[in-house]
Amino acid sequence: MLPQLTFMHKLIITVLVLFSVHLVFSQSYTVNSPAGTISVSISNTSTLTYQVNYKGKSVIKSSQLAFKLTKPEATLANFEITKVDSLVHDDTWTPVWGEMNKIRNHYKELSLTLADKSQSGITLKVGFRVFDDGIGFRYEFPSQTNKYIIVGDELTQFSLADDHKTFWIPGDYDTNEYLYNTTRLSEIDAVTAANKEPDIAVKSVIGPDAVQTPLLMKTADGLYINIHEAALINYPAMHLNLDKPTLTFQSHLVPDAIGNKAYLENPSRTPWRTIIISDNATEVLASKIILNLNEPTSYTTTDWIKPQKFVGMWWEMHVGKATWELSSGKHGANTANIKHYIDFASQHKFDGVLVEGWNVGWEDWFGNWKEDVFDFVTAYPDYDLKELTAYSKQKGVQLIMHHETSGSAFNYERWMDKAFQLMNTYNMSTVKTGYVGKIIPRGEHHDSQWMINHYQRVAEKAAAYKIMVASHESVRPTGLHRTFPNWMASEAARGSEFNNAPALGITPEHTTILPFTRLMGGPMDFTPGLFCFKLNQFEPTRTTEVRTTLAKQLALYVTIYSPLQMVADLPENYEKHTDALQFIIDVPVDWADTRILEAEPGDYLTIARKAKNKNDWYLGAITDENSRVLNLSFDFLDAGKKYEAIIYRDGEQAHWKTKPEAYVIEKKSVNKKTKLKINLAAGGGCAISIREVK
């Protein structure tokens, strides 16, 4: 498709043309995506602006690109264009693990070099990559006389064309563990929403009009728009502040303890700002823009990075059967109890056993100002690491390490080498980290530049010891698992543990929104697999409950992608439903292919995934609080092949509230032409394993 030649002076970007001109530059440029679905127009008049159209419809109206620096003090908003570069890129790459074997990275790029006109002497670049399913753009500060700069704020705007339906959580410097709100843009009220959430201990809400990314919007005429960022490195996370009269979001970077946003040493660059756009909700979920905008890994070997399923005595503590601390008299991490979990994992061929509360310090770990609550190497006296290592080895299972930092990231950095050496000594290759509480160094936030660098240091240090990481209470992911494939998952959203939170808990619709929001950035350690729904098993006065059916818990292993999946419930709860447990035993955590069959944020989602190196498929379908008929076509299967499907579906009376454990398991022969109607209960779901029959 050729760009329009409406203005004589307009520079033309065409397919497969690479140019770099040093003449007098035009003040406006248009870049069309490879198939022409999306176009970005950049204009440099009094300020520098961009706008985005999808199939001719305005998605982002003219929006400013600017910066406020505190060193040197300057507002970068008026520029002279000094250079223009463009290129077309098309390649296909193979992730170490993930939702598919091959990922195509196809875009057109335009990069403008800009000289600030305010006499700061600052030079910067802005680069746009335009894909058929969205765009990414970022700023770069090339090498220049001002080697060190301090960002006061980034003033990037996203001006929306209408008052869209929006799925949002409050903008917050410290936590992303909120329930999603669904309102019009003009109805966003982040402070009121945050105040409804007494179960979140540490909050730093930005203000009434601030929200977090990944942010999903749906327009009146059915366009889905997702705003997020990719490759968040050496920079704070970006939240968004809405100017309601103009329906314009402006970037709001997380500050450090003294109010600065980012300290950059040039050459430097910001993360990519991403906008994924489609008129089909399934294509938003299938978009690989965020991964594509991240750098390939530089790890020389990756064969030590292994997707896995694990059990743990974690839920015992959350439901009050045991405690992390020894002094209570019901310490969960004792040698005998962990042997029981090792036996359970071994029997069902799960890879690991997570042990929390194994190390001294839990008597007084939360909410204090101590820097050195934990040393990550000293076990409680009733926990015999040596004996358990030998026992787990004999049973073909690995222990999974837990490093709760109690927010003292600084202390963790002091101990990291010793802690990872201990893991190497005891044959442990996966660690779950956590950052509960206020961050130390004092005044830092979970999402500030210092902490962003901390999470990266942890990933890289762990890689040096060939250790895989799942982080909790960390920043929401931005596709960095391409670059650091051992940082396999993060929590960074409201996970399954909130089923046990007294106030709002997890609503049935939550898991239909997560894929469109939090999961866009990368895998989540959600910890599905709960088979016991009233959480008063050990403390009869508890009123908390899991708001799904059992079949939906199975389906979550497919709909929430993670290369690390916990099998979260207690062995005694699984023993009651070993037939249903079989799906969790069978379902892979690494895939050759993924097909999003149908999806609507807040309502429902059906995904089919193909196992690696096999012709087997697994399907997960979930619904919100409404029951629904799933009209399933198996046309994703290979023609001419026969398959046996094992269907785990909601029973006739199933309902998340009244009969969550009603399920039916049935076998059916299926092939590419099969069509089935399956009822999903309120808060329900369906999981299917589909194996090729030779």
Q: Mind telling me the catalytic residues?
A: 497
Contact 322, 313 (CB under 8 A): yes
- The end-to-end CA distance of the chain, in Å, is 46
Closest contact distance (angstroms) between CB of 621 and Ca ion is 15
Separation between Cα atoms, residue 348 and residue 309, nearest integer Å? 11
CB of 473 to ligand NOJ, least distance (A): 6
Task: Write down the least CB distance from residue 435 to ligand NOJ, Å.
Answer: 9
Which residue of 407, 434, 477, 651 would you call a contact of ligand NOJ, by CB under 6 A? 434
Q: Where are the alpha helices (DSSP H) in 309-408?
A: 314-318, 335-347, 385-394
Cβ within 8 Å of residue 11, ≥6 positions away: 21, 25, 26, 29, 84
Which residue in 214, 332, 508, 602 binds Ca ion (CB under 5 A)? 602
Show contacts with ligand NOJ in window 568-607 (CB under 6 A): none
Question: At 152, phi and psi to the nearest 5?
Answer: -80, -40
- Which listed option, Ca ion, ligand NOJ, none, makes contact with residue 377 (CB within 5 to 8 Å by class)? none
H or E segment at 384?
none
- Which residues sit opposite 241 in a β-bridge? 210, 250
CB of 604 to Ca ion, least distance (A): 8
Whole-number Å distance between alpha carbons of 376 and 405: 9
Contact partner at residue 356 from Ca ion, ligand NOJ, none, CB < 5 to 8 Å by partner kind: ligand NOJ
Q: Does 624 interact with Ca ion (rule: CB under 5 A)?
A: yes
Number of residues that bind ligand NOJ (CB under 6 A): 8
> Which of ligand NOJ, Ca ion, none lies near 656, with the C-beta cut-off 5 to 8 A by kind?
none
Question: Residue 174 or 509: which CB sits closer to Ca ion?
Answer: 509
CA distance 402 to 338: 14
CB of 313 to ligand NOJ, least distance (A): 10
Q: How far is the CB of 603 from Ca ion (least distance, A)?
A: 5
In one-letter notation, the amino acid at residue 145 is T
Partner whose binding site includes residue 316, from Ca ion, ligand NOJ, none (CB under 5 to 8 Å by kind) = none
Q: How far is the CB of 601 from Ca ion (least distance, A)?
A: 9
Is residue 436 involved in binding ligand NOJ (CB under 6 A)? yes
Question: Does 472 sit near ligand NOJ (CB under 6 A)?
Answer: yes
491 binding ligand NOJ? (CB under 6 A): yes
Structure tokens at 370: 């101590």
Is 355 or 622 the residue whose CB approaches Ca ion more closely? 622
Q: What whole-number distance in Å separates Cα of residue 473 and Cα of residue 445?
A: 11
CA distances from 69 to 44, 426, 580 (A): 20, 48, 57
Structure tokens at 77: 């908003």
Structure tokens that stand for 238 in this block: 């970006």
Q: How far apart are CA 94 and CA 96, in angstroms?
A: 7
Please give, one letter per residue, the 3-state secondary structure of 150-217: EEEEECCEEEECCCCEEEECECECCCCCCCCEEEEHHHCCHHHHHHCCCCCCCCCECCCCEECCCEEE
Look at the alpha carbons of 558, 560, 563, 568 in this order and tell me if their dihedral is positive or negative. Answer: negative
Closest CB to ligand NOJ among residues 137, 314: 314
- Residue 624 binds what, of Ca ion, ligand NOJ, none (CB under 5 to 8 Å, by partner type)? Ca ion
**Contact letters (x/-) for Ca ion, 499-538, by CB under 5 A?**
----------x-----------------------------
d(CA 154, CA 316): 45
DSSP 8-state class, residue 82: E
Residue 222: phi, psi to the nearest 5?
85, 20
Whose Cβ is closer to ligand NOJ: residue 436's or residue 646's?
436
Distance between CA atoms of residues 113 and 581, nearest Å: 57
- Asked if residue 95 lies in contact with residue 482, where contact means CB atoms within 8 angstroms, the answer is yes
As measured in angstroms, the least distance from the Cβ of 347 to ligand NOJ is: 24
Closer CB to Ca ion, residue 125 or residue 510? 510
Out of 99, 109, 153, 356, point to the residue binding ligand NOJ (CB under 6 A): 356
Q: Which of 153, 209, 256, 404 binds ligand NOJ (CB under 6 A)?
A: 404
Q: What is the CA radius of gyration of the chain?
A: 25
Among ligand NOJ, Ca ion, none, what binds residue 509 when CB lies within 5 to 8 Å by partner kind? Ca ion
Over the range 480-492, which residues count as b (16 or more CB within 10 Å of their CB) and which as e?
A: bbbbbbbbbbbbb
Write out the binding residues for ligand NOJ, residues 309-328 only, by CB under 6 A: 314
Min dist CB 324 to ligand NOJ, Å, is: 7
Here's the x/- map for Ca ion, 546-585, by CB under 5 A: it reads as: ----------------------------------------
Residue 436 binds what, of ligand NOJ, Ca ion, none (CB under 5 to 8 Å, by partner type)? ligand NOJ
Binder of residue 491, out of Ca ion, ligand NOJ, none (CB less than 5 to 8 A by kind): ligand NOJ
| CA atoms in the 13 A half-sphere facing the CB of 478 | 30
SS3 390: helix
- Please, which residue, 400 or 605, has the CB nearer to Ca ion? 605
Q: Which does 472 bind (CB under 5 to 8 A by kind): ligand NOJ, Ca ion, none?
A: ligand NOJ
CB of 404 to ligand NOJ, least distance (A): 4
Q: Of 301, 151, 280, 305, nearest to 226 (Cα)?
A: 280
Four-CA torsion 175, 180, 184, 186, nearest 10 degrees:
-20
User: CB-based burial of residue 66 (10 Å sphere; 0-12 exposed, 13-18 middle, 19+ buried)?
Assistant: buried
The one among 133, 316, 325, 497 contacting ligand NOJ by CB under 6 A: 497
Between 317 and 345, CB nearer to ligand NOJ: 317
By C-beta, is 271 or 508 nearer to Ca ion?
A: 508
What's the closest the beta carbon of residue 356 comes to ligand NOJ, in angstroms? 5
Q: Which is nearer to Ca ion, 182 or 302 (CB)?
A: 182
Q: Which residue has the tokens 């799942």?
A: 470
What, of Ca ion, ligand NOJ, none, does residue 603 touch, CB below 5 to 8 Å by kind? Ca ion
With CB cut-offs between 5 and 8 Å by kind, which of ligand NOJ, Ca ion, none does residue 434 bind? ligand NOJ
Q: Which is nearer to ligand NOJ, 318 or 628 (by Cβ)?
A: 318
Taking contact as CB under 5 A, which single stretch among the options 59-67, 305-313, 595-603, 631-639 is the one that binds Ca ion?
A: 595-603
CA nearest 506: which of 514, 496, 516, 515? 496
Interface residue list for ligand NOJ (CB under 6 A): 314, 356, 404, 434, 436, 472, 491, 497
Interface residue list for Ca ion (CB under 5 A): 509, 602-603, 624
